[in-house]
Amino acid sequence: MRGSAFIAGRVAGRCQLTAAEAAAASLAASAVASKAVYHDPTVLRKAPMHHQLVEADITKEWRRAQLEAFPSKYHGYRLAVPESASGDDWFPTPHGITCTDACFAFPEIFRGKDVVELGGGIGNQTILLIHAQARSVTVTEIDDSRHNQNRAMLELNKGLLHNLDGTGSVVTYIVQDWMRFKFRADVIITNPPFCMSGQPRRRHFIDALCHLSRDALTEDGKLVFSQSSMADVEQTLQTLKEYAFDAKIILSADFYWRDYYAKDEKFLEEVDELQQRTGGKAYYTKGGKRVERIYVVEATKKPFEPNLKH
């Protein structure tokens, strides 16, 4: 049963599935409903969402339109979110959902590893890292209060882990600013802010990850993160190469634009510039609506011999 759940999730996670393959994967996923971890965005939205950075445009209607337009990317897993989650607790966005899908689709990246999750939010990735049998999961957040919903999420969904025999992952919560890497990890996973990064350079967190992860990772360590097509994924792959990583895209999924994108004129200018420069790789339109592609990048640290001696 457990194997089927993973297989169903992995197959359905690839965007290039034919309609028939997607339907088959979806059926396979429903067949294991009682044992698999289910992630249904309409369920996720049951909890109130007031985070100032996550505008209330992720409505039931928005979710339904997503499902109708892009059915194959939805896996057969569902996570319950604590009713107590609200306020500054971070609910999954398209980036968060896709990053979570990657945890579900590629458990082997995390199995037996010491994983650091930067900015854990309500724990949508944390639970799947445990599900993937990470040896340890260290979750960072900006303040301790935000870890509480993550703990509650694990508690609420622990039956799913029990169904899957649990893992023995050691879970540790630490308060640590995003880019202060005071740790060593086999894998760093994160969903970095982009559109509303609060930085003069929107790509600040993506670039900082590329620059800073190397020293925090063990030999052959991996950096896994989600980013939008509007954040220039080619630039990310090139930067990672320059920092001696083997980088590739392991999963992608399409989402209609969030309402707030179109309200930020500077963002629109930047995206249009990228659209022109890349020959239309920033976004596309479907039914008259703009669509972004969220990628999950996996970057593996390569050995590097400094060639300068002082």
Ligand X SMILES: C[S@@+](CC[C@H](N)C(=O)[O-])C[C@H]1O[C@@H](n2cnc3c(N)ncnc32)[C@H](O)[C@@H]1O
Query: What does the binding site for ligand X look like in residue numbers (CB under 6 A)?
Result: 90, 92, 96, 99, 119-121, 124-125, 140-142, 146, 177-178, 191, 193
Q: Which of 232, 192, 201 is nearest to 99 (CA)?
A: 192
- Per the CB < 8 A criterion, the answer to whether 81 and 122 are in contact is yes
Look-up of token digits 């002082």? 310
Q: Which of 105, 104, 106, 103 is nearest to 117 (CA)?
A: 103
Closest separation in Å from C-beta 177 to ligand X: 4
Structure tokens, 6: 């993973």
- Per the CB < 8 A criterion, the answer to whether 123 and 143 are in contact is no
Number of alpha carbons in the 13 Å side-chain half-sphere of residue 241:
7
Give whichever of 178 and 256 is closer to ligand X, judged by the CB atom: 178
- Per the CB < 8 A criterion, the answer to whether 235 and 274 are in contact is no
In angstroms, rounded to a whole number, what is the distance separating the alpha carbons of residues 140 and 278? 35
Report the DSSP beta bridge partners of residue 189.
117, 224
Give whichever of 116 and 271 is closer to ligand X, judged by the CB atom: 116
Closest separation in Å from C-beta 86 to ligand X: 13
Give whichever of 54 and 217 is closer to ligand X, judged by the CB atom: 54
Structure tokens, 107: 């458990």
Give whichever of 26 and 121 is closer to ligand X, judged by the CB atom: 121
DSSP codes, 113-161 = -EEEEES-TTSHHHHHHHHTT-SEEEEEESSGGGHHHHHHHHHHTHHHH
Quote the crossing angle between the two packed helices 124-131 and 94-105, to the nearest 10°: 0
Closest separation in Å from C-beta 93 to ligand X: 6
Closest separation in Å from C-beta 287 to ligand X: 27
Closest separation in Å from C-beta 140 to ligand X: 5
Give whichever of 86 and 163 is closer to ligand X, judged by the CB atom: 86
Closest separation in Å from C-beta 81 to ligand X: 11
Give whichever of 155 and 177 is closer to ligand X, judged by the CB atom: 177
Give whichever of 142 and 170 is closer to ligand X, judged by the CB atom: 142
Closest separation in Å from C-beta 175 to ligand X: 8
